[in-house]
Amino acid sequence: MTPLACVDEAEYAELARNYGPCVRRAYDIPTSRAYFDEWVYKLAKNRRAEVAMVVLNPAGQVLTHTKSFYPAGAFRIPTGGIGHEERVLDALQREVWEETGLEAEVQRLLAVIEYRFTDGAREVRFATYLFMLQADGHAPCVHDANERITEFRHVDVAALHRIAVQLEGLSGDWNEWGRFRAVAHRVAAETLGA
């Protein structure tokens, strides 16, 4: 699929120069009216895109977290919004600190994932900038209580596939959210050769 033109191309080119070439994927995600109104519209209203963080500890394991309102057992990699006037790297640094409290060095831009969420004739375009970072050996801690993160876990890179499957399999009100969130985990696993 061709790019959906929801990424600042000059900024993308700069990131690719500094952090290596990355994969670029585009996905159409049909949604229900309720999900579009309750989640997709609000997502795009408050941010132009998001960063997703594959934060590796010194043992090469990936940091995941869960939140107080997630379904039981649902862990995923951290993500955070990029404000409409915010640069991608500024958002990445802010979100790493807010969600993990770790000193983490950007190693690579793994992927830029573009989405077109649709509900009939309505559509919202959104993007995820997926980064790999190397963290120090400290334990993660939350610096923004509003995130409502309740637990961290480190998993092997291969577990990203299992997390994607679990997220895709969420039921009820979490199904559409899980299908969207699974994409970055699947792309990360593929990109990292897991």
pLDDT digits (tens, 9 = 90+) for 42-62: 777 889 999 999 999 999 999
DSSP sequence for 79-127:
EEEE-TT--HHHHHHHHHHHHH---EEEEEEEEEEEEEEEETTEEEEEE
Which whole-number Å values give the CA distances from 179 to 13, 18, 47, 61, 95, in the listed order? 28, 31, 20, 24, 23
Chain centre to alpha carbon of residue 36: 18
Residue with the two structure tokens 């400290």: 138
Q: Contacts for 93-97 with beta carbons within 8 Å, 24 or more apart?
A: 95/51, 95/53, 96/53, 96/55, 96/133, 97/143
Per the CB < 8 A criterion, the answer to whether 145 and 104 are in contact is no
pLDDT of residue 44: 78
pLDDT of residue 22: 92
pTM for the model stands at 0.94
> 9-19 and 88-100 are packed helices; what angle lies between their axes, rounded to 10 degrees?
70
Domains, the chain, with CATH or none: 9-191 (3.90.79.10)
Q: Cα angle at 55 between 51 and 151, to 5 degrees?
A: 95
pLDDT of residue 2: 46
Block mean pLDDT (10 aa), the chain, length 194: 69 95 94 90 84 97 97 96 94 95 96 95 94 94 90 97 97 95 97 86
Per the CB < 8 A criterion, the answer to whether 153 and 74 are in contact is no
Nearest of 15, 16, 17, 90 to residue 48 by alpha carbon: 90
Helix (H) or strand (E) holding 19: helix 9-19
pLDDT of residue 4: 52
Given its phi and psi angles, is residue 95 left (phi above 0), alpha (psi -120 to 50 degrees) or beta?
alpha
